[in-house]
Amino acid sequence: MEFTWTPEQQDLRASTRRLLQQRAPLARARELAEAGTRHDPQLWTAMAQQIGLQGLALPEDHGGSGGSLVELAVVLDEMGRVLLGGPFLPTALAAEALVASGDDAAAGEHLPAIAEGERTATLAVAGPDGRWGAGNRTARGSGGDVRLTGTAELVLDGADADLVLVAAQGERGPSLYAVEPAADGLTAQRLDPLDLTRPLARLHLSDTPARLVGEDGGAGEVLERVRRTASILLAAEQVGAMSTLVDLTAEHARTRRAFGRPIGAFQGVKHRLADMAVRLEMSRSAAYWAAWQPPGSPEAALGAAVAGSYCSESFLQTAKDTIQLHGGTGFTWEHDAHLFLRRARADATLAGSPAEHRAALVPLVLPELAEVPA
């Protein structure tokens, strides 16, 4: 099958880009970051009411539009162009977890409000080592009387989200639990993030009341599916960010002059720009091929691993090249290249490092090696 953009997807991209250009240009991301502001509430409302972005990939019977991961990737691509942070990505991943859990009651309770832009959500799934899972968090009790204890690291929007989905060790294994932000025993410690556009928090749970989402012991498969989705969406976002970096650097090469001619005329600069453009196109292919695969399929697992491995490293190198090709200007705080470099560095911690993604590729492309004892 040949992948082509549908008219609806092209319209979605155009509408999203227009809204972000008007309400959230790159200068706005810097303004919010320097002010320490979580996000722009007016933009959040506009995304929900004008385009329906929060409910784009949610089931129609829960207030969503029933779109696919491709449409969501298009949106993240456009958000990456302007380094939009805030609650969109963590809310999208938490919503994916609710859908994947198969818990219709929990989905019916939370997804319609998420689709309307009335509620934000996040996942508390990282342990002290940054890996997704139950970590050191434990759950005791059953039914409506469950209590959580432990710590969750690197929680996106963790201090401000309206709903927190926590992975913890239940009686039958890793399980997913819904926790209200005002619950007793829940303390959010705001962190000083490397990526200033994305608020982070460390959550401390001490005998915190929670409610089971999905099956007891069923979080393993749910988290793996969501982690793959996170890898694909991050890759799409990185593609958008790289697009901006390539445009900024090419424009600088055309207008900055040295020895009487544009620096883009020098062979060394041309080669670096060509490398940046090649990385961008290969990243775009990897990200959208992964998003195009059926969720939960072996192809989706393969695509997520490839995208997570390649796009993250490509984004980081492209950000470094942008700073270097801008010369002394690129090294100053006033230039936006700093924000892109910080985003690139931070992205590698959110859904697994490139090395972890490459390790996940081994059993997918060379299954015979996975059977060899260590």
At 60, the pLDDT band (50, 70, 90 cuts) reads very high
Q: Supply 238's token pair.
A: 């990185």
Choose among 95, 6, 101: nearest CA to 48.
95
At 352, the pLDDT band (50, 70, 90 cuts) reads confident
pLDDT of residue 214: 93
Phi, psi for residue 367 in degrees, rounded to 5: -60, -25
pLDDT of residue 57: 92
Phi, psi for residue 252 in degrees, rounded to 5: -65, -40
Question: β-strand 173-179 against 186-190: which pairing, if any?
Answer: unpaired
Using DSSP's 3-state secondary structure scheme, residue 172 falls into coil
At 367, the pLDDT band (50, 70, 90 cuts) reads confident
- Name the least confident of 108-117, 126-135, 343-352: 126-135
Q: How far lies 10's CA from each of 4, 70, 232, in Å?
A: 10, 11, 19
As a whole number of angstroms, the distance between CA 178 and CA 105 comes to 12
As a whole number of angstroms, the distance between CA 119 and CA 98 comes to 14
At 333, the pLDDT band (50, 70, 90 cuts) reads confident
141-156: per-residue pLDDT in tens? Answer: 876 789 999 999 999 9
Choose among 253, 238, 260: nearest CA to 318.
238
CB contact at 8 A, 152 and 161 = no
pLDDT of residue 188: 95
Strand partners, 208: 148
pLDDT of residue 362: 85
CB contact at 8 A, 184 and 199 = no
Helices (H) and strands (E) in the chain, counts: 12, 9
pLDDT of residue 371: 62
Q: How far lies 290's CA from each of 8, 70, 240, in Å?
A: 20, 9, 16
**Average pLDDT, stretch 221-230?**
94
Quick one: DSSP state of residue 329? G
pLDDT at residue 58 greater than cutoff 70:
yes
* Helix, strand, coil percentages for the chain (3-state, nearest 5): 55, 15, 30
Q: Environment class of residue 204 by beta-carbon count within 10 Å: exposed (0-12), middle (13-18) or buried (19+)? A: middle
pLDDT at residue 349 greater than cutoff 90:
no
Q: How far lies 77's CA from each of 4, 265, 352, in Å?
A: 16, 30, 20
Phi, psi for residue 39 in degrees, rounded to 5: -170, 180
| Amino acid letter, 345 | R
Q: Which helix (H) or strand (E) holds 158?
A: none
With a pLDDT cut of 90, the percent of the chain lying above it is: 74
As a whole number of angstroms, the distance between CA 123 and CA 50 comes to 26
pLDDT at residue 318 greater than cutoff 90:
yes
Q: Which domains does the chain have, with CATH numbers?
A: 7-115 (1.10.540.10), 121-218 (2.40.110.10), 221-367 (1.20.140.10)
At 370, the pLDDT band (50, 70, 90 cuts) reads low
Q: How far lies 50's CA from each of 61, 101, 279, in Å?
A: 20, 29, 34
pLDDT of residue 369: 63
Q: Supply 335's token pair.
A: 């230039």
As a whole number of angstroms, the distance between CA 90 and CA 16 comes to 19
Question: β-strand 200-213 against 186-190: which pairing, if any?
Answer: antiparallel
CB contact at 8 A, 34 and 83 = no
Q: Supply 136's token pair.
A: 């050191």
As a whole number of angstroms, the distance between CA 155 and CA 151 comes to 10
pLDDT at residue 372 greater than cutoff 60:
no
